[in-house]
């Protein structure tokens, strides 16, 4: 799977995800899934990683704000990012670089899952929503995507930096109050 890990979200959503999302119990931290399925773990090579890195390198690092909670029906509670286009661009670039990958028939809806009804009651999801809503917004900076592999747990197999990661933004270095600050 190709995902954007969001470790800055862990203090906010981690306790809820641990109870409400089975992937969290298997070691997968707060994230947005961008491409799934990806290459099987046993088939990942140095060429796979190099191709992935080249595919996403043109996408600049970007600020992202999670300002509201949303639902997929009454089944999934999730944090909505304000920046959806960069996530979609990353997914499109990965699919273009790996044309053999299976594609879904629907448009990617970037989201950070908080909980699933198959793992918890609707009431537990509503309690999480009530507890999280006043603590938003959450601002982060996305500087890389990760190739995640699942064996018994989810692990980072490789990281693919985005093009502007580590470079100064035109508005200056990130810092408190800066437009580039997370």
Confidence check: pLDDT of 140 > 50: yes
Percentage of residues of the chain with pLDDT beyond 70: 90
Sheet hosting strand 62-72, strand order edge to edge: 112-116, 76-81, 62-72, 138-142
Q: What's the pLDDT at 165?
A: 52
Q: What's the pLDDT at 171?
A: 34
Q: What CATH number is given to the structural domain containing 28? A: 3.90.1140.10
Could you report the per-residue pLDDT of 108-126, keeping only the tens digit for each?
999 999 999 988 899 999 9
Lowest-pLDDT range of 42-51, 62-71, 97-106? 97-106
What is the residue range of 110's domain?
Answer: 2-65+83-114+138-161
Domain membership of residue 166 (yes or no) is: no
The tally of domains found in the chain comes to 1
The secondary element (H helix, E strand) that includes residue 154 is strand 154-161
Per DSSP, which regions of 18-111 are E strands?
Answer: 31-35, 62-72, 76-81
Lowest-pLDDT range of 9-23, 100-114, 126-140? 100-114
Domain membership of residue 42 (yes or no) is: yes
Q: What's the pLDDT at 25?
A: 86
């Amino acid at each position: 799977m190709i995902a954007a890990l969001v470790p800055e979200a862990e203090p906010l959503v981690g306790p809820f995800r641990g109870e409400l999302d089975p992937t969290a119990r298997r070691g997968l931290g707060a994230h947005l899934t961008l491409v799934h399925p990806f290459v099987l773990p046993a088939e990942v090579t140095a060429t796979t990683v190099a191709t992935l890195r080249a595919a996403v390198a043109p996408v600049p690092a970007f600020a992202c704000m999670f300002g509201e909670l949303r639902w997929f029906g009454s089944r999934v509670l999730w944090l909505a990012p304000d920046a959806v286009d960069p996530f979609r661009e990353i997914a499109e670039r990965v699919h273009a670089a790996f044309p053999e990958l299976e594609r879904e028939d629907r448009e990617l809806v970037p989201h950070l899952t908080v909980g699933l009804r198959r793992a918890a009651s609707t009431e537990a999801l509503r309690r999480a929503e009530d507890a999280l809503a006043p603590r938003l917004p959450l601002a982060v900076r996305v500087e890389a995507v990760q190739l995640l592999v699942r064996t018994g747990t989810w692990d980072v197999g490789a990281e693919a930096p985005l093009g502007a990661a580590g470079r100064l933004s035109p508005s200056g270095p990130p810092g408190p109050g800066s437009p580039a600050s997370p």
